[in-house]
Amino acid sequence: MIKLIYIIILIYFMAGGIGFYFINRNKEREVARKSYTKFGVYFIIINILFFSIIINPVMFKYIAFVIIAGGLIELFYLHQKSGYQQKGFFLLSLLVFLILAAGLYFFSRQSKEFILFSFLIISIFDSFSQITGQLWGRKKIFPEISPNKTLGGLAGGALVALGSAIFLRNMYGGPLAKLIPVAIGIIVFAFAGDLAASYYKRRYNAKDFSNLIPGHGGILDRFDSLIAGAAWTSLCVLMFNL
């Protein structure tokens, strides 16, 4: 089963690579190089997280802790960089982050199958919303907060992620009637987490949270969707005993 899932991941990456080729073929060399760097680094990140889950879930717990700690540092960093402006907004953002971070930590303690299923849906939505958005996205959703988010990207990423959730339903282990709401919630929370991170950066006039991850920016630039999506799955476990 795990071997089949990894083959599916590789197929998705091949499809994504083809998409990136069409996206970058007419762009300037430097712009294309940065795009391919982002794609390559993302491939490495996905592999690290995937194998940390299937080999020893304890490793994923440590990674979750690093993401939470790094995210906290980046929140404080942008606030400090602004000269400690908008303290009320910062404290509210910090509270929201801590709640979501608690959800991520609780998520990291679930069964290997449930973690892997949720992680795959989040990652598929995150990657294909970017690819389909750049290929076919026309109508911008929140141009003042996140100029690159389009209706086409949201719809494309959501459709691929939802279809993948149904295809991978044996990993979930529950009935389809429960799987669909869980998957839709993952998509909604992942999108909202990405949007919230973008809004925080705009309030502090920053493009990225940091430059720690080549092609991606900071920890929160890369893992905002994972933090929020994982928090939703934790809520589902607590409320519906999944």
- The whole-number pLDDT of residue 88 equals 96
Q: What is the mean pLDDT of residues 16-22?
A: 84
- What is the overall mean pLDDT for the chain? 91
- Could you tell me the pTM of the whole model? 0.93
Residues in the chain: 242
Is the Cα dihedral 98, 104, 105, 107 positive or negative? positive
User: CB under 8 Å to 242, separation ≥6 — which residues?
Assistant: 114, 174, 178, 182, 233, 236
pLDDT of residue 91: 97
Confidence class for position 134, pLDDT limits 50, 70, 90: confident
Region of poorest pLDDT, from 73-82, 141-150, 166-175: 166-175
Q: Summarize pLDDT for 60-86 with one digit per residue, the tens.
A: 999 999 999 999 999 999 999 999 999
How far lies 141's CA from each of 75, 195, 200, in Å?
A: 25, 10, 17
* Structure-token pair, residue 114: 């449930």
pLDDT of residue 205: 93
Residue with tokens 């494309």: 156
C-alpha separations of 51 from 5, 96, 115, 212, 214 in Å: 12, 29, 12, 22, 21
User: According to the model, what pLDDT value does residue 215 have?
Assistant: 85
Q: Which pLDDT value is given to residue 229?
A: 96
- Whether 10 shows a pLDDT value over 70: the answer reads yes
Give domain limits for the chain.
2-240
Q: What is the pLDDT of residue 242?
A: 64
Q: Above pLDDT 70, what percent of the chain?
A: 99
